[in-house]
């Protein structure tokens, strides 16, 4: 039996990170849309899987953003780009708290702040997707 799509994607991530460990977040972010596209039908059709996804996401969010920025409501959003836009808008609503959460000192260009936020969101979503894939038995 061959590899599943998620297994192939995860193997590629491991290979690329092995070559460039300092780019982990960027590499993960480049493959995350493909993984989200794979899990979207599972989330739409399986309430139990969605509940697990939401639970892990919220816990990961709290770990990443603390109590400074509460977890967003993303129910019914399965498209990666729409999800990221919704999460970015949610974070923008707490813009005054972002420097504290990201431990930013001094003045940073808005582009740099947005990049750091997107990378942090990628880590949160990647961990959540991995958990769901394990939960569903798709990856070991």
- Report the number of distinct structural domains present in the chain: 1
Q: Read off the pLDDT band of 41 (50, 70, 90).
A: very high
The answer to whether residue 140 sits within a structural domain is no
DSSP assignment of the chain equals ----HHHHHHHHHHHHHHH-GGGHHHHHHHHHHHHHHHHHHHHHH-HHHHHHHHHHHHHHHHHHHTTTSPPPP-TT---HHHHHHHHHHHHHTTTTTHHHHTT--S---HHHHHHHHHHHHHHHHHHHHHHHHHHTTS--
Residue 69 gets which letter from DSSP?
Answer: S
Residue 102, pLDDT score: 80
Q: Is it the case that residue 37 has pLDDT exceeding 90?
A: yes
pTM of this prediction? 0.89
Q: Which domain holds residue 80?
A: 5-135
Residue 23 within a domain: yes
């Amino acid at each position: 039996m061959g590899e599943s799509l998620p297994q192939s994607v995860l193997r590629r991530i491991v290979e690329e990170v092995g070559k460039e460990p300092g780019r982990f977040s960027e590499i993960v972010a480049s493959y995350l849309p493909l993984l989200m596209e794979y899990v979207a039908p599972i989330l739409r059709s399986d309430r139990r899987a969605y509940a697990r996804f939401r639970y892990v996401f919220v816990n990961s969010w709290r770990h990443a953003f603390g109590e400074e920025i509460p977890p967003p409501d993303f129910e019914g959003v399965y498209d990666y780009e729409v999800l990221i836009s919704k999460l970015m808008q949610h974070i923008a609503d707490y813009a005054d708290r972002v420097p504290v959460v990201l431990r930013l000192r001094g003045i940073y260009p808005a582009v740099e702040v947005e990049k750091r936020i997107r990378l942090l969101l990628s880590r949160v979503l990647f961990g959540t997707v991995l958990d769901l894939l394990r939960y569903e038995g798709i990856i070991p």
